[in-house]
Amino acid sequence: MGILSAIILLPLLGAAIILCVPKDKPRVVQGIAVAALVLDLLLALWALASFDPGTLQMDALSFSFVEKLPWIPSLDIHYHVGADGLSFPLILLTALLSLVAGVYSLNITVRVKEFFFWYLLLETGLLGVFAALDFFLFYLFWELTLVPMYFLIGVWGGPKKEFAAIKFFLFTLFGSVFMLLGILALYFNSTPHTFDMVQLMAAHAGFSREFQILVFLAFYLGLAVKVPAFPFHTWLPLAHVEAPTGVSVLLAGVLLKMGAYGLLRISYSMLPAGFQWFLPVLVIIAFINILYGALCAMDQTDMKKMVAYSSINHMGYCMLGMAAVSSIGFSGAVLQMITHGLITGALFLLVGVVYDRAHTREIGAFGGLGSVVPVYAGIMSLTCFASLGLPGLAGFVSEFLCFLGAFPAWKWVTILSVSGILVTAAFFLRMIEKVFLGPLDSKWEGLPDMNARELLAVLPLTALTVAIGVWPRLALDLMNPTVTYLGRLFPDLFGALR
Amino acid sequence: MRGLGLLSPEIFLSACALGLLLGDTRALRRPLRRLAGVLPHLAVLACAGAMGLVCLSASVPEELRGAGGLWAVDPMAVFFKILVLGACILVLWLSLDYRSKTPHGHPGSYGALVMLCAVGMMLLVGATDLLLALLAFELVSVSSFILAGFESRDPKSSEGAIKYFLIGAFSTGVMLYGISFYYGATGTTSLAAAQAAARTHAPLVLLAALFWIVGLGFKASLVPFHFWVPDAYEGAPTPITTFLSIAPKLAALAFLVRVFGHMLPHGVLGLGGLFALLAMLTMTFGNLVAMFQDNVKRLLAYSSIAQAGYILIGLATGDALGREGLLLYCLAYLLMNAGAFAVAIAVGNEDGYELSAYDGLACRSLGLALLMTLFLLSLAGIPPLAGFVGKFYLFAAAVGGGFWLLAVVAVLNSVVSVYYYMRIVVHMFFKEPVRPQAPALGLYLCSSLALAAAGVLLLGIYPEPFVAAVKSSAVLLTIAP
């Protein structure tokens, strides 16, 4: 078994072991879960050492850690996994966020065994989506994320958890069944019939433009719900707010990236004519996401809801970068996926920290906290600055690259989209002001500062945010050859934009 | 007598059933009192023996396979016979751990009726002559009427059985009427003459075919011939509900495949569109009504209607891929539906069949709740479970055959179905339990659950052997006209 399979299957193994532990031993369950999460991250880091991102001049995608085993030979379905510069950073991100969110979730006290069972199952699904190179496998992992997430929201969530859980389930499933039809359509129209994603990336020449548009739309339904692109975003604020903190981190940090990843891996690479046909609409949707998400976030009084809406805004930047269809735009989009995962993941953790203590997330309920919880205030402010795109922090680099890439192709939309940054800055600064500055409300005087578990969860994300902000090549070197290659593809379709 | 030798499993099973029936007679009951507890086990053994005989035909195909004037023993018939017998074994097992408020006290005749029903279905799936098919159809019907009303002291059981009987008798009449048209057109009841007759007497054969579809539609509970289903399913003893929701439905569908997928293929009568319409109606109606059920038996009854709709996709496309998908889905359906009903029996033995009985099952018994979730998710078609592989195959057949509308309706139905399957999950995981004790699980219930769960997972994760088996089973033998 290769290292990539080990990374994917280790959490599954952990989940199976947890299932065998009696439920009155929560400590053992937590120990196994953390061990599995730590080992998984270590494996991912070990893989990083031998990961080959390829060269800038390569003329085909180079996948590392490829494993291809026959799985259902009668239908020509293989267990085919591999990682390239597009998926490997996301795999690293998933392993990291799963660990920190898992460490944070050690504060869960009810039904611990079930929680970590579903949690580890979810991690396997998330990792698998990014690693799969066979459509059957891809769809399997894609759906595998649904059920654990449903339970994680539905059992351990907030007051409206049941509705949030089923809405999330039905919305995503609605999108993904159309994706399934798209997969089948690709299978029957490729010669020879295949579910192999690498082969399908080379097969687009045989697809007519009309066919590509139709299949693009089928895939888009599935991917847009995950991104989430306007108008399929309505599940997001609900699910993010109701989910327990650790799960919100994975929802925002990783789950949304599945959609964006699919847009590049499938929609763009396999259906370029469909992508080109949809491009004007995609730009508009990206713009709506940016502005609408930011304005909605501004309107919120609940910190968690605000962060949730800011995710819609940030995924808008990501889509804008993709709409550039150039190497710069793509590297901005992929980097935005990573930085948004780090920053928003940290933000959700930090909102969870204050909620655990004060049992409220209303911005108006606080004031002057900076003097009581200085460490918390410092980290929170830094993360907010990163999220609003302050130079020197990770968010700035990716957003800058997205705008830089999009500008030559879509001047006006890009100029208008920059206003989104202003709104983002406005609501984050307003929150910092209302929560940390001003006179201290006496009822918060005894508020304890962050404890070791919380620091352990948040600090790695903060450190990476600063590190990528100062030295972006840390992340960009991993993805550059792949996105450069992708950005060069299809000159006859997108040449005019570049 | 080679032709009769082909029927050895059926003959064996009938003989065992008659012997078992003796055990319940007044004369023998007293001397055999000690054996009363053994009778159900004997029934299981007989079914297993018959299954062994069926499987023998796979090892010596040249001797134990073939087609005669009345029946064919071909790979597809063998496949469905194994499914039917598997269902019988599971159901007889479940019956052993089923606690009823109104116990019937006739273990011998109960087992014998299930076995006779199985004989009927085994004949039906291999029938190539309409007269034999009608006889088999009647054998299935009559024994299932009695089984549905077996808890005769429970008015609901009697009501369901009477409804079932009236509609079943009507459907037999319709079927017979259709056969008379066919006889009028061809002068024979053998299906071998069907293709030729369809060319020379197209309107008459078409009319006959429509009547057959109606008759078989009742048995397979296709919409709009499904009225009897919820009442009969709710009233019947739960193991019998399990049985009715699986075996007769699959047998009727198998016969539909033999007639309309093989003897009278779509190219001859052009009924593909009709089957697509029936499939869409069946799945949509079943799913929409299931959303509003608060009784788990009724919910699963409507779900089984919807499931028949998915299976019908395989018939609508009419190609080899569709037929293989149909077979695969039938296998998956047997496993997951039997599993779901097994959990329903485990919970229902003490707490009844209302949805509220499932409150907090995850806290009472996490294993049972997870198993139920597994079966429900499989029924909903979520990977990596058996139901998904089956649906994947069927949807692929629909897409490959260019039935786009059918494919879209089918996937949308899968989404709708998740809503009501998850309603049970909501009760199991998100509600507080009424009492902390876990439901008691008998040995047979446990083994059925384990078997079904293992099958659902194996078929979902490693479908290759099953796909290969289905590919080799989708072969029908033709008889010389």
Q: Which amino acid is at B119?
A: V
Q: CA of B270: how far to CAs of A385, A450, B267, B274, B276, in Å?
A: 67, 72, 6, 8, 11
Tell me whether B457 touches chain A (CB under 8 Å): no
Q: What gap in Å lies between CA B163 and CA B158, rounded to an integer? A: 9
The packing angle between helices B107-126 and B75-96, to 10°, is 160
Q: Please answer yes or no on whether A174 and B396 come within 8 Å at the CB atom.
A: no
A75–chain B nearest CA distance, Å: 8
For chain B, how many helices (H) and strands (E)? 23, 2
B37–chain A nearest CA distance, Å: 36
What the block records as the tokens of A243 is 């989910």
Tell me whether B110 touches chain A (CB under 8 Å): no
Which residue is it, tokens 């039905």?
A170
Contacts of A173 in chain B (CB under 8 A): 414-415, 418
Name the CA radius of gyration of chain A, rounded.
22
Q: What is the mean pLDDT of residues A95-118?
A: 91
For chain A, how many helices (H) and strands (E)? 22, 2
Which residue among A114, A166, A174 places its CB closest to the CB of B422?
Answer: A166
Q: Please answer yes or no on whether B426 and A74 come within 8 Å at the CB atom.
A: no
Q: CA of B297: how far to CAs of B2, B245, B332, in Å?
A: 45, 11, 20
Contacts of B468 in chain A (CB under 8 A): 74
Residues B128 and B258: beta-carbon distance below 8 Å: yes
Q: Residue B66's beta-bridge partner residues?
A: B73
Q: What gap in Å lies between CA A150 and CA A166, rounded to an integer? A: 7
Choose among A102, A82, A92, A119: nearest CA to A5.
A82
**Which long-range contacts does B149-152 make (Cβ < 8 Å, 24+ apart)?**
B149/B235, B149/B236, B150/B104, B150/B106, B150/B110, B150/B236, B150/B237, B150/B240, B151/B100, B151/B102, B151/B104, B151/B235, B151/B236, B151/B237, B152/B102, B152/B104
- Give the model's confidence band at A187: pLDDT under 50 very low, under 70 low, under 90 confident, else very high: very high
- Rounded to 5 degrees, what are φ and ψ at A190? -95, 145
Nearest C-alpha in B relative to A146: B382
Q: CA of A178: how far to CAs of A221, A380, B409, B415, in Å?
A: 7, 40, 11, 11
Q: Residue A78's beta-bridge partner residues?
A: A70
Q: Residue B73's beta-bridge partner residues?
A: B66
What is the per-residue pLDDT for B62?
67
**Does A420 have pLDDT greater than 80?**
yes
Q: Please answer yes or no on whether B426 and A162 come within 8 Å at the CB atom.
A: yes
Within 13 Å and on the Cβ side, how many CA atoms surround B48?
9
Which residue among B383, B400, B464 places its CB closest to the CB of A144?
Answer: B383
B461–chain A nearest CA distance, Å: 9
Q: Please answer yes or no on whether B418 and A170 come within 8 Å at the CB atom.
A: yes
Nearest C-alpha in A relative to B394: A184
How far from chain centre, in Å, is Cα A282? 19
Q: Residue A196's beta-bridge partner residues?
A: A134
E strand spans, A243-305:
none
Q: Please answer yes or no on whether A177 and B383 come within 8 Å at the CB atom.
A: no
Contacts of A174 in chain B (CB under 8 A): 412, 415
| Chain A interface test: which of B327, B430, B462 (most A C-beta within 10 Å) | B430
Q: Please answer yes or no on whether A180 and B388 come within 8 Å at the CB atom.
A: no
What the block records as the tokens of B459 is 């078929």
List residues of A whose CB lies inside 8 A of any B CB: 23, 71-75, 111, 113-114, 136, 139-140, 143-144, 146-147, 150-151, 154-155, 161-162, 166, 169-170, 173-174, 177-178, 180-181, 184-185, 187-188
Q: Say which DSSP state B60 is in.
A: S
Nearest C-alpha in B relative to A140: B383
Q: Please answer yes or no on whether B396 and A184 come within 8 Å at the CB atom.
A: yes
Choose among A422, A423, A408, A426: nearest CA to A283.
A408
Q: Say which DSSP state A302 is in.
A: B
Per-residue pLDDT of chain B (481 residues; tens, 9 = 90+): 456 778 888 999 999 999 888 877 777 766 666 777 788 888 889 999 999 988 887 777 666 667 777 888 888 889 999 999 999 999 999 988 888 777 777 778 888 999 999 999 999 998 888 999 999 999 999 999 999 888 878 888 888 889 889 988 888 999 999 999 999 888 888 888 888 888 887 888 888 889 999 999 988 888 888 888 888 888 888 999 999 999 999 999 999 998 888 888 777 777 888 999 999 999 999 999 999 999 999 999 999 999 999 999 999 988 888 999 999 999 999 999 999 999 999 999 888 888 888 998 988 888 899 999 999 999 999 988 999 999 999 999 999 888 999 999 999 999 999 999 999 999 999 888 888 888 888 899 999 999 999 999 999 999 999 999 998 888 887 665 5
Helices (H), B26-154: 26-29, 39-59, 61-64, 75-96, 107-126, 130-148
How far from chain centre, in Å, is Cα A274? 24
- Give the model's confidence band at A366: pLDDT under 50 very low, under 70 low, under 90 confident, else very high: confident
The total of other beta-carbon atoms located within 10 Å of residue A110's CB is 10
Higher pLDDT, A149 or A206: A149
Contacts of B462 in chain A (CB under 8 A): 71
Q: Which amino acid is at A4?
A: L
Q: Say which DSSP state B359 is in.
A: T
The packing angle between helices B404-430 and B386-400, to 10°, is 160
Q: Please answer yes or no on whether A170 and B399 come within 8 Å at the CB atom.
A: no
Which residue is it, tokens 């291999």?
B126
Which residue among A155, A173, A184 places its CB closest to the CB of B418?
Answer: A173
What the block records as the tokens of B468 is 């290969």
Residue A175 domain-assigned (yes or no): no
The torsion region of residue B289 among left (phi > 0), alpha (psi -120 to 50) and beta comes to alpha
E strand spans, A375-449:
none
Parallel/antiparallel/unpaired status of strands B66-67 and B72-73: antiparallel
A211-249 tens-digit pLDDT: 999 999 999 999 999 988 888 888 888 998 889 999 999
User: What ipTM was estimated for this complex?
Assistant: 0.90
Residues B171 and B225: beta-carbon distance below 8 Å: yes
CB pairs under 8 A between A and B: 77
Provide the chain B residues 336-375 that lie in CB contact (below 8 A) with chain A.
362-363, 366, 373
Tell me whether B395 touches chain A (CB under 8 Å): yes
Choose among B305, B329, B353, B345: nearest CA to B448.
B345
Nearest C-alpha in A relative to B471: A74
Residue A304 domain-assigned (yes or no): yes
Residues B280 and B409: beta-carbon distance below 8 Å: yes
The torsion region of residue A489 among left (phi > 0), alpha (psi -120 to 50) and beta comes to beta
Parallel/antiparallel/unpaired status of strands A77-83 and A64-72: antiparallel
How far from chain centre, in Å, is Cα B257? 14
Q: What gap in Å lies between CA A461 and CA A440, rounded to an integer? A: 29
Choose among A229, A210, A219: nearest CA to A269.
A219
Tell me whether B415 touches chain A (CB under 8 Å): yes
Q: Please answer yes or no on whether A154 and B418 come within 8 Å at the CB atom.
A: no
Q: Say which DSSP state B405 is in.
A: H
Choose among A110, A105, A108, A116: nearest CA to A453.
A105
Residue A256 domain-assigned (yes or no): no
Angle at B102 between CA B169 and CA B376, to 5 degrees: 75
B285–chain A nearest CA distance, Å: 19
Spans of all domains in chain B: 1-269, 271-474
| Number of domains forming the structure of chain A | 1
Q: Please answer yes or no on whether A74 and B400 come within 8 Å at the CB atom.
A: no
Q: Map B449-461 to HEC letters.
A: HHHHHHHHHHHHH
pTM of the prediction?
0.93
What the block records as the tokens of B94 is 């479940």
Dihedral angle of Cα A328, A334, A337, A342, to the nearest 10 degrees: -90
* Structural domain for A471, as ranges: 271-498
Q: Please answer yes or no on whether A184 and B400 come within 8 Å at the CB atom.
A: yes
Q: Residue A81's beta-bridge partner residues?
A: A67, A132
Q: Which amino acid is at B366?
A: L
Contacts of B408 in chain A (CB under 8 A): 181
| Chain B interface test: which of A166, A173, A186, A190 (most B C-beta within 10 Å) | A173
Which residue is it, tokens 């948040």?
A458
